[in-house]
Amino acid sequence: EAGVAQSPRYKIIEKRQSVAFWCNPISGHATLYWYQQILGQGPKLLIQFQNNGVVDDSQLPKDRFSAERLKGVDSTLKIQPAKLEDSAVYLCASSLVGGNEQFFGPGTRLTVL
Amino acid sequence: AQSVAQPEDQVNVAEGNPLTVKCTYSVSGNPYLFWYVQYPNRGLQFLLKYITGDNLVKGSYGFEAEFNKSQTSFHLKKPSALVSDSALYFCAVRPFNDYKLSFGAGTTVTVRA
């Protein structure tokens, strides 16, 4: 079974630039999560989708972050414009509907200079 | 609001010795508890979970964890640590009626040969 795929693995940008991350969940997993993991901290949920609908985006900084999952499979997370404090690893995870276990991708390490 | 505390930033043990990584939690209602491990430049890997039933939960790679409701703890244990167990360990909790996971800050485990 293929795992959660994410790209790119690394990205370096300057502040005020925009960036996008891509996630392909495990086949059949209707629930998809985006987390932000700042160095030295645990992952923090940014947004949760079920199919193509948003379940929870209460911790997503909506003035600069956006996410979509148009066809209920792949998802993209965008930051525009980026700030220095956005430097982090962005993790995507997926699960079955009602599933207790979340499966994580390798993450995208973002450095904002 | 739910939260997780991992009181030790680092745990150092010798190979072959017992390993314990501590976790306490706060959540409304019955908790669902999880342990994940993260190796460098990798995503989080699921180790084990407590949902209900026996307080002692066995997981991957010889790890186990004990749920203690009165102490609101879910400590991770391994009877005999290996050098390959050196990694970053995260405890996570969610209420039984919500899929939002809250993670601790993580504990870095170093097992010396």
pLDDT bucket at A1, cuts 50 / 70 / 90? low
Q: For B51, which of A48, A91, A100 is closest by C-beta distance?
A: A100
Please report residues of A whose CB lies closer than 8 A to that of B105: 40-42
Q: For A41, which of B42, B43, B105 is closest by C-beta distance?
A: B105
Q: Do B106 and A31 touch (CB under 8 A)?
A: no
Q: Do A104 and B45 touch (CB under 8 A)?
A: yes
Residue of B nearest to A106 (CA): B43
Question: What number is the average pLDDT over the span B101-108?
Answer: 95
| Mutation choice for B interface testing from A6, A60, A94, A104 by most B CBs within 10 A | A104
Q: Which amino acid is at A29?
A: H
The tokens of A27 are what?
Answer: 């086949």
Strand boundaries in chain A, DSSP class E: 5-7, 10-13, 19-24, 31-37, 44-50, 53-56, 65-68, 75-79, 88-95, 103-104, 108-112
pLDDT at A72 over 90: no
DSSP label at A98?
A: T
pLDDT bucket at B1, cuts 50 / 70 / 90? confident
Per-residue pLDDT tens over the stretch B28-54: 888 999 999 999 878 899 999 999 889
Please report residues of B whose CB lies closer than 8 A to that of A103: 46
Residue of B nearest to A91 (CA): B43
| Mutation choice for B interface testing from A37, A58, A89 by most B CBs within 10 A | A37
**Confidence (pLDDT) at A99:** 76
Kindly list the distances between the CA atom of residue B30 and the CA atoms of A56, A112, B69, in Å, as whole numbers in the listed order.
Answer: 21, 40, 9
| Contact residues for B79 (Cβ-Cβ < 8 A; gap 6+) | B18, B62
- Among B34, B21, B7, B5, CA closest to B85: B21
Angle (nearest 5°) at CA B9 between B3 and B12:
135
Please count the helices (runs of H) and the strands (runs of E) in chain B: 0, 12
Per-residue pLDDT tens over the stretch B67-101: 999 999 999 999 999 999 999 999 999 988 888 89
For chains A and B, count residue pairs whose Cβ atoms are closer than 8 Å: 49
